[in-house]
A and B are shown apart, each in its own frame.
Chain A
Amino acid sequence: MAQQHEKPHVDHVTGTATTGHEWDGIRELNTPLPRWWLWTLYLTIVWSVGYWVVYPAWPLITSHTAGVINYSSRAEVGEELAKLAMLRNAQAAGLSTASLAEIRADAGLQRIAMARGRAAFGDNCAPCHGGAGVGAAGYPNLIDDEWIWGGKLEDIERTLLHGIRWEQATETRVGAMPAFGRTGMLKRDEIAEAVEHVRSIAGLDVGTSANPAKGREVFAANCASCHGQAGKGNQELGAPDLTDAIWLYGSSRQAMTEGLVNGRGGVMPAWGARLDPVTIKALTVYVHSLGGGQ
């Protein structure tokens, strides 16, 4: 360790006093830190004590010291969320009085409806229709231009409010694709011919052994009442267009046959009882804008 020096040793080259520490002839120059630097360190310590008093700091067994100003980052988030909710409700006030068409026509209302609709869609619709509204087998794709029950704003709103085949709702949309096979209304070969006929009007490949006359006859007798003679469908009854490129359950022979044998009848809940009218409006505008709105 350092020894007591009567007079500090001075380094010749720099003219600086040394500390007296020496290692293999190398001496350590005495270049003390400035005093204010030390005071800055003390100041940070004092600051930390103040911090303990003012802010939550020390962990206790089941809680922590709260600090005199009762600060909590969680409470701060809560306040901000409450503020946001207030802001959103103020914006929603505009949506509640405007008609759907007015919302569409007003860029500001449209933007609010879209933001609100996107959030509500993710919370309520995405589980069946997919996050982007792309749907899945049996769950309609909402971004294409095919609509089973209509793609106008009013149609979409009605579907949202009352659902499809939702028994609890009195105004729900009702339409049935009967189980022609299971109930014995059509025989196995009649179903096969009907499938081939539908494939022919849809522009899909048709089996070589098909009997077009038979198929047309079965279709006219059993299917045309809902889907129309030409198979163009009927949105009043929820009967899909059978001539386009979009197939809710797939366009394979197996999927078509399954539909004819067991019938089809997808269900959508009536959201009018679950969501407030503003959210329904926002959802309507949002779904309408996804790409298929008419």
Chain B
Amino acid sequence: MASGRAAEPEHDPRDGIPLYAPAPKVYPQSVAGRFRNIKWTLLLAGMAIYYFLPFVRWTRGAGLPDQAVLIDLERMRFYFFFIELWPQEVYYLTGLLVLAAIILFLMNAVAGRIWCGYLCPQTVWTDLFMQVERFFQGDRRERIRLDAAPWSFDKIWRKAATHTGWLLIAWWTGGAWVLYFADAPTLVKDLATFQAPMTAYLWIGILTGTTYLLAGHMREQVCLYMCPWPRIQAALTDADALNVTYRHDRGEPRVSVKQAARLREAGEPAGDCIDCHQCVAVCPTGVDIRDGAQLGCIQCGLCIDACDDVMAKIRRPIGLIGYDTEAAVDARAAGLTPPRRRLVRPRTVLYAAIISLVGGAMLVQLATRSLLDVSATHERTPLFTTLRDGSIRNAYNLRIANKRSESRLVALTVDGPAGTTIEVSGALPASDWRAIVEAPADAAIDVRLFVSMPRRMAVGPSQMIQIKASDLAFGEVAVARENFFAP
């Protein structure tokens, strides 16, 4: 917990118990290595996608936006390449969230906090901000010295440049965000000429503020105090999950290089850890990995790079800190050969099963979803009307949704007893049992449908009828079932 690294508590003269402590500032040192490279690659890829995706075009047809990924709030449509979703299909979002959660669980069961260490926006943006900080203020030592130094021109311009850099990145982050909600090239032009809607500027401002605050100032505090995931993941990990681990079986007891050489000569135990604190210095959250798996460790692997570097220098095998399982470390500590890593475990199987089930169901649903929908609501007042010739008429409010990008003709028919007739106000004249309505492109229309039955066929209190909407050109059929009421 944070308490482990809490700075000198401020002593209140009354009882010596401080209730609030300033957050200790973490000065992560730069490091080079395998995991640092992976992190840079993922950072660049993630940012490239985030910043440039809104500019990717996708042809959909006349009258429809040609932006590949677009959340059109005004017209209530979500576009994702070849997919176009309507508000009533928001369950795909639910499915996606379920998938995201279980994938997170699976990642955790396989290789710990991959999300926290490499993919989480908080980590990625903090990483970028730290690089800006490093560029203007130097590495760990220089930054500590600069912070301790009195204000001078040198300190002021370095600090000002850092914050300006942060604000620029933050502003660009907010700027990219709003591009997902409108045609990106047009909006960029409008933003530059101050013609864009107020909401766009407002959201850019909000995201500039949050990015600047979270990635510039809050950093590891977000992981330690605000994020629920460290708490949840602690309950989900097990002895077979790969985690960034200090191999205490190999590292202890910690002694200096010379001392270790002496001890080994004398045949006494000596650990590989020389207590150089490089793993702590490079840690973005300021924890000591040698204390074991902990909430503050986001498992970014930078301590692995730092330690491997040191091990190479003192000519000991690398991997004193590395991705390892608790089971393996325990086995080695007991002098046994570490067991083969178990990837197939009840929890990984269960997570994978849920993922394929939910993902599969969503894919099937998406692949087979109808581009023509009809829903019917029975008119409640009155339930039925008696006509002059004694026949019984019911009214239905239909909603016909045409999800194609072209207008089409839809024939409405009703499956009911012999003599059933239908009538649609405003429909093209067809016949007594069939009406044709025009469904405009990419829109839903409301249609009032009257269904009549001869008195002897209208069996009270109600019978089920089927209202069928058939596309004349594509042959798609949508069916709604409703009651037909009679006295």
Interface of A toward B, CB cutoff 8 Å:
1-5, 8, 14-17, 19-20, 29-38, 107, 110, 130-132, 134, 141, 143-146, 203, 241, 244-246, 289, 291, 293
Contact = CB atoms under 8 A, between A and B. Distances in A.
Contacts of A5: 16
Contacts of A36: 23, 218, 221
A276 to B, nearest CB: 25
8 contacts: A4-B16, A14-B4, A16-B3, A132-B382, A143-B382, A144-B385, A145-B387, A246-B387
Contacts of B389: 244-245
A145 B388 contact: yes
Contacts of B185: none
SS class, residues of chain B in contact with chain A = loop
B18 interface: yes
B20 A32 contact: yes
A145 B395 CA distance: 13
B19 interface: yes
A257 B22 CA distance: 95
A34 B225 contact: yes
B456 to A, nearest CB: 13
Interface of B: 1-4, 6, 9, 15-23, 218, 221, 225, 379, 381-382, 385-390, 393, 395, 425-426, 448, 450
A57 B282 CA distance: 50
Contact of A289 (B15, B18, B19, B425): B425
B384 to A, nearest CB: 10
Contacts of B381: 130-132, 134
Name the residue in B21, B221, B426 with the highest tally of chain A Cβ atoms < 10 Å from its Cβ.
B21
A52 B19 CA distance: 30
Given A5-B16, A8-B16, A14-B4, A241 B388 contact: yes
A16 B3 CA distance: 7
B17 A30 contact: yes
A291 B393 contact: yes
Contact of A291 (B3, B19, B22, B450): B450
Contact of B17 (A15, A19, A37, A244): A19
A4 B385 contact: no
Name the residue in A16, A130, A241, A291 with the highest tally of chain B Cβ atoms < 10 Å from its Cβ.
A291
A143 B20 contact: no
Nearest to A1: B15
Given A4-B16, A245-B387, A289-B425, 17 more contacts: A2-B15, A3-B15, A15-B4, A31-B3, A32-B18, A32-B21, A33-B19, A33-B20, A34-B22, A35-B22, A134-B382, A146-B387, A146-B388, A245-B388, A246-B388, A291-B393, A293-B425
